[in-house]
Structure 1
Amino acid sequence: MNKLEHLEQEAFDSNVKIHDYYLGEDNLKGFYINGNIAINTSVGTTAEKSCVLAEELGHHYTSVGNILDLTSAANRKQERQARLWAYNKQIGLIGLVRAFEHGCQNRFEIAEYLEVTEEFLEECIECYRNKYGICKRVDNYVVYFIPQLSVMKLV
């Protein structure tokens, strides 16, 4: 099973229904409300659909109430929490290490290996950079975020 199929199974197991629906504009990729996720029919690739689904599942698990008004600090915090949930689900620090071990040389290869979009990977790295700073140790590895993404194996 690919990542999209795993997420669809998780949604099913959590009684969350997924609907493919045109949301009125191409910029709006997905929407979560009351146990239903609408994914815009304009979402073209499996990788993009899995990223959208992961974020909307993040809203299912982490958000409360109507958070559409992003001028509210509390709503922005809930949006960030849902995205962080999606980044951890789709990529995670271990995913970055696995991509390194697999021999991925650049962000395109990492995104392809992890079955996410390059944009989602970039946003994840920026989020982790803000959260962890220069680097973060994971088991016998150090994942560096500054000056650029890199992984070093400790001996």
Structure 2
Amino acid sequence: MNIYEEMQDRAYNAGMNVIGYTFRNKTIKGLYCDGTAAISNNIDTNAEKACVLAEEMGHHYTSAGNIIDQTDEQNRKQEFRARMWAYNEMIGLMGIVRAFHHGCRSTYEVAEYLEVTEEFLNDALNAYRDKYGVYTTVDNYIIYFIPGLTVFKKE
């Protein structure tokens, strides 16, 4: 089972329907409404589909109402919460630690190991850096976000 199929199973278990959809606007990758996530049929990789579905699941768990108008500050906050939910679900701080234990040293290798797109990983790392600053600790590990992603085990 690939990562997208795993995420579909999780969505179904959460009471969501997941459908493939051909959007007229090619820039739209996914939408969530009333328990249904529509994922663009124009996405080529399972990793990208899984990332998009994770964000739509984030809306299922964290959003309420119509938030399409992103000029509204409250809608932008809900969009951010959904994205953070997706980042934590698909990557998380422990996912970064697991990737480094696996021998991953570049963002490309980390993204491949975690089965996410490199763009999604970089967006997550930027969000984590904004939240935690230069570094954060989790269990016995220090994760540095600046100058580049690095993990050290505390002795």
Q: Shorter-chain TM-score category?
A: over 0.9
Offset, 1:147: 1.5
Match of 1:58 in 2: 58
Distance 1:2 1:87 in 2: 18
Aligned residue-pair number: 155
Offset, 1:25: 2.1
> Unaligned stretches of 5+ in structure 1?
none
Distance 2:136 2:27 in 1: 33
TM-score (norm 2): 0.97
Offset, 1:26: 1.9
Offset, 1:60: 0.4
> Unaligned stretches of 5+ in structure 2?
none
Match of 2:76 in 1: 76
Offset, 1:72: 0.6
Offset, 1:5: 2.4
Deviations 1:71-119 (A, max 9, x none): 1110000000000000000000000000000001211111000000000
Where has structure 1 moved over 3 Å in runs of 4 or more? none
Distance 1:116 1:69 in 2: 27
Which structure 2 residues correspond to residues 113-132 of structure 1 after superposition, within 5 A?
Answer: 113-132=113-132
Distance 2:19 2:70 in 1: 24
TM-score (norm 1): 0.97
Offset, 1:59: 0.3
